[in-house]
Every structure is written in structure tokens, then in C-alpha cells.
Amino acid sequence: MIFKTVLVIALCILALAILANLYRIIKGPSSADRVQALDSIGINLIASTAVFSVLLHTHAFFDLILLIGILSFIGTVAFARFIERGVVIERKR
Amino acid sequence: MKTNDVILKSVTRVAAVIILTFSIYLFMNGHHHPGGGFIGGLSMSSAIVLLYLSFGVDKVRENIRVDFKKLAAIGVLIAIGTGMSGVIFGKPFLTQTFGYYDLPIFGNTELASALIFDTGVALAVIGTAVNIILSISEDR
């Protein structure tokens, strides 16, 4: 019972962290801040998925964790390239 | 401009293999567990997009000689053809069958015709997603 309460509290804290990241995305002064906040939201989603699968006694969501990780990584790489060079996919002229 | 992104290229060489393997796992997993043609094709297209990101369009186009427009069309044709094969045998459209066969290595295996439909869906998703991203990145 106590274990379940701890898990629910952890989920609430993760939701608060995602809300704080959302504030940074909307308000963030530079676009690098927004990219950082998006990556951090991905990590928080992974953590909350893991806590959910402990809470629900299932291992159906473990694929989802890997998938969120992959998509978040690719999104961060694309945004970083866009900020640094202004072009996402290189091609010869 | 000569760019130096050796970290991204080294990571991509390892990560693309992992993502491609994971996408095939998701694709084969979809019959009884979470997964299937759509998400398998989507993660495979994300691996191809990662290759495009780190190595550039021309180098990837040299090595993956696939026209993604034709790939999407072939996928839709495979999916519709699997659906129409039910009509030929007098059943409703998209009827699927399955059976148990003795394969040499795998033993008694369940083979379903839904897998062929899923292959068509996956090919259509790969072609469409990669095509959209390439044509978005074309103009600046």
C-alpha cells in the first residue's frame, strides 16, 4: 500500500516537472532553451512510463520506453542541426 | 563548408543498427503484442531519417538505392491485394486466415495472412514518411 502511494507521488512529481518544462518551452528566451526542455520532457515521459508499468504490474510498455527514447534522440539531433547550421538535411548544390 | 561531426556519425553507425533491429522486432511482434506494421514502419523510417541527418542526402541515396515514392505505391498495392484475395474466395473484403504449419527450424508455427497485409502497411508508411521529410527539407 505504501509502495503504491510512493509511486503515485512520484508520478505527480514527474507531471509537475513536465509542467515546468512546458513553461520553459513557451517562455524560453532562446531556441536552445526550448530544445533542452523538449529533450527533458522526453526523459520525463520515459520515467513516468516506467513508473506506470511498475504500478500496473505489466511489461507491455517496455517497447514504448525504447521508442520514446529513439524519437526524442532523433528530434534533438534534428533541432541541434537546425540551430547550428540552419539546414537539417545536407545536400550538394 | 567542411563540417566536423564525428561524434554524431559514430553514434549513428551504432544506433541505426539498433533502431532497425528494434523496428523489425516491433513489426513481427504485432500479431499478439503491442506493435504492428504501422509502428514498425514508422520506427524504420526514423532510422532512415537518422541516416539522412548524419550522412547527408547524396551519400545515403548512393547506398540505399530505393525510390521511396515507388515503395509507398508497392506497399499500398500489397495491402489492397491481400484484401482482395479474400474476395476471390467468396469471403468479405480483408478477410484473414491463419494456419499451423510444421516449418524445418521453428517447429509448429502459426502463419497468418495478416502478416502480408502488415508488410504492405509498413512499406507504405516507410515510403510516405521518408518522402514527406525529404520533400520538406528540400526548399529553404
Report the distance separating Cα B107 and Cα B84, nearest Å. 30
Residue A75 falls within a domain, yes or no?
yes
- Does ipTM come in above 0.85? no
Question: How many pairs of residues across A and B have Cβ atoms under 8 Å apart?
Answer: 50
Average pLDDT over all residues of chain B: 87
The CA distance from B49 to B25, in Å, is 19
Q: How many helices (H) and strands (E) does chain A have?
A: 3, 0
**Model confidence pLDDT, tens digit, residues B76-123:** 999 998 888 888 888 888 787 887 888 788 778 778 888 888 999 999
The partner residue sitting opposite A87, judged by closest CB among B35, B54, B140, is B140
- Whether residue A16 lies inside any domain: the answer is yes
Does residue B131 belong to the interface with chain A, where contact is any CB pair within 8 Å?
no
What's the predicted TM-score (pTM) here? 0.84
* Separation of alpha carbons B122 and B56, rounded Å: 24
What's the domain range around A20? Answer: 2-85
Residue A47 Cα, gap to closest chain B Cα (Å)? 19
Q: How many residues does chain B have?
A: 140
User: Cell 536552445 appears where?
Assistant: A32
Q: In terms of pLDDT, which residue wins out, B105 or A15?
A: A15
What stretches of chain B adopt beta strand conformation (E)? 98-103, 107-112
Nearest to A89 among B25, B46, B137 (CB): B137
Helix then strand then coil, % of chain B, to nearest 5: 65, 10, 25
Name every residue whose Cβ is closer than 8 Å to that of residue B54 and which is 6 or more positions away in sequence: A77, B5, B8, B9, B12
Q: Which residue has the higher pLDDT, B139 or B115?
A: B115
Q: Do B43 and A63 touch (CB under 8 A)?
A: no
- Whether residue A51 lies inside any domain: the answer is yes
Domain count, chain A: 1
On whether residue A93 sits in a domain, the answer given is: no
Flag whether A10 is in a domain: yes
Chain B contact set for A64 (CB, 8 A): 34
